Amino acid sequence: MKILQRLADLAREHDVVFVLENLNTAVDHPGTPFALASDCPELVKAVDIPHLRLMLDLYHAQIGEGNLIELCRSALP
């Protein structure tokens, strides 16, 4: 969490936006952090700085979790 906070602070300082993207561990990215798309919106909300946003990758979400409709609903503002 501290790393995401620091990245968001750097983004704000340089007036850019960083995105957090979920990646699946089952097929394409074994061992990667942020594998569960359902966790990513909560991480972005916890940092609460507009310069860190969610890029919800539906391909990776379907492989890792499925249930895309509910996932999209929960990620909406």
Model pLDDT, residue 36: 86
User: What's the predicted TM-score (pTM) here?
Assistant: 0.80
In contact, 51 and 5? CB cutoff 8 Å: no
Report the number of distinct structural domains present in the chain. 1
Model pLDDT, residue 61: 92
Radius of gyration (C-alpha) of the chain in whole angstroms: 13
> What single string gives the DSSP state of each residue in 3-34?
HHHHHHHHHHHTT--EEEE---TTTT-TT-S-
Note down the domain range covering 14: 2-75
Model pLDDT, residue 19: 95
Q: Mean pLDDT, 10 residues at a time, over the chain (77 residues)? A: 91 96 91 87 92 93 90 82
